[in-house]
Amino acid sequence: MDKRGMLPASEFVQSQKALLLSRYESIRSTGNMSKTLTDTLTRIEYALKRIENETYGVCCHCGDDIEKKRLAQIPETPFCVSCAEEREYQKNRNR
């Protein structure tokens, strides 16, 4: 049993889903479709799809579990911390 105050996995995913859906709606309702927001919407859709496929919370790059703390901060992220950092690094290097 996890006694550190974390929700059971399924409840955690359900609360993340609710969060993603409300984020999605609030971004759409702004009507301001900048590139960043469109990208975020795409990532939210992808995250929702992964919830359906029960692969939510698994890094798309290395297959490791993504920390719940990270998911709570960025519910739509498809990458774990180290993969995300690596991608940032690559992006900055290519500039």
Return residues touching Zn ion (CB under 5 A).
59, 61-62, 80, 83
Phi-psi region for residue 63, left (φ > 0), alpha (ψ -120 to 50) or beta? left
Question: Are the C-beta atoms of 44 and 20 separated by less than 8 Å?
Answer: yes
Question: Are the C-beta atoms of 41 and 28 separated by less than 8 Å?
Answer: yes
Q: What are phi and psi of 26, to 5 degrees?
A: -70, -35
Of 51 and 58, which CB lies nearer to Zn ion in the complex structure? 58
Least separation in angstroms between residue 89's CB and Zn ion is 13
Of 11 and 65, which CB lies nearer to Zn ion in the complex structure? 65
Least separation in angstroms between residue 25's CB and Zn ion is 29
Of 37 and 60, which CB lies nearer to Zn ion in the complex structure? 60
Least separation in angstroms between residue 70's CB and Zn ion is 11
Of 50 and 61, which CB lies nearer to Zn ion in the complex structure? 61
Closest by Cα among 60, 94, 95 to 76: 60
Q: What is the DSSP letter of 8?
A: P
